[in-house]
Amino acid sequence: MPIRIRKLIGALFMVVYVIFYALIAMALAQSRPLQEASPWLQPLLYAVLGTIWIVPLLPVVSWMAREDR
């Protein structure tokens, strides 16, 4: 598959993934257990929710950057 097609597919996938992840993260942030967590724990949980979305996208980025055969 040409690199241009891989980049197009990967970019579309990332946009869709980030939209769905943002909706899920917002729902989790508004959930009762997180709202009732201690004030010291809440920033940590928000930081984790704000950065964990990167991990599943790492294989997609490496797939997009592969050289053509």
Taking residue 33's Cβ as centre, other Cβ atoms within 10 Å add up to 8
Show contacts of 21-28: CB within 8 Å, 24+ apart. 21/53, 25/49, 25/50, 25/53
Domain parsing of the chain, residue ranges: 3-64
pLDDT of residue 22: 94
Q: Which two tokens stand for residue 38?
A: 């201690």
pLDDT, tens digit, 9 for 90 and up, residues 23-67:
999 998 888 887 888 889 888 888 998 899 999 999 999 999 988
Residue 11 has pLDDT above 90, yes or no: yes
